[in-house]
Amino acid sequence: MKTIAVVDYGMGNLRSVAKAVERVVDKQMHVVLTDDVKVIAAADRVIVPGQGAARGCMHALREHNLIEALLKAATEKPFLGICMGLQVLMTHSEENKGTGCLDVFDGEVHFFGNHAELQSSQYKLPHMGWNRVKQQRRHPLWRGISDGARFYFVHSYYVKPQDADVIVGTTDYGIEFTCAIARGNVFAVQFHPEKSADEGLKLLNNFVHWNGQS
């Protein structure tokens, strides 16, 4: 029996992610919502979802003693970050007057509202709703998902990695921004697969069968 750990640090849509993953697993897979570092260490795959603010997220991860466990998981097993689970993988976020993050990927998290292009009434913040994702390069988690497929977003901040080679998906919302990154065994997205109907379930299905190689 293979275990997929959905990390529970008390923020956001954790149960809805776990329920969505349960819809795509087979009988040889078990989904567990947990903050137990031993369960996370023993799991075959790890998913880090979440909503909220960067500082609150990092505080919750520390309070649950999850920092070391997540950093280790990000080096050795298939790892999926969703929404805040993407943003905290970066070095630093502008949110809350500046917040240090996990530094798995070199880069920053920026506020949409700082862009003049987004200060017209056409662009509401947070960026909320369905938007197209342009696949910047092939990846096993895009398998069976058409380029330009729509996914569901809810966010006011976006990531800007230093290394453009890690960018696997972008979206246009007044500016083109990175919405998916990947390197080695890590894949992380700004959108919510669990809220993205068939395409989101397909991505989750790809993840639970992924061997962590790109």
Rounded to whole angstroms, how far apart are CA atoms 17 and 33? 9
Residues 57, 179, 194, 199: which is the catalytic one?
A: 194
Name the phi and psi angles at 29, rounded to 5: -125, 145
Query: Is position 192 annotated as part of the catalytic site?
Result: yes
Query: Is position 101 annotated as part of the catalytic site?
Result: no
Residues 83, 95, 179, 199: which is the catalytic one?
A: 83
Rounded to whole angstroms, how far apart are CA atoms 76 and 69? 11
Residues 95, 101, 192, 199: which is the catalytic one?
A: 192
> Could you identify the residue written with the tokens 């993205």?
196
Structure tokens at 9: 């640090």
End-to-end C-alpha distance for the chain, whole angstroms:
24
> Could you identify the residue written with the tokens 């395409």?
199
Residue 64 burial (CB < 10 Å; 0-12/13-18/19+)?
Answer: middle
Query: Is position 194 annotated as part of the catalytic site?
Result: yes
SS3 140: helix
Rounded to whole angstroms, how far apart are CA atoms 3 and 44? 5
**Residues marked as catalytic:** 83, 192, 194
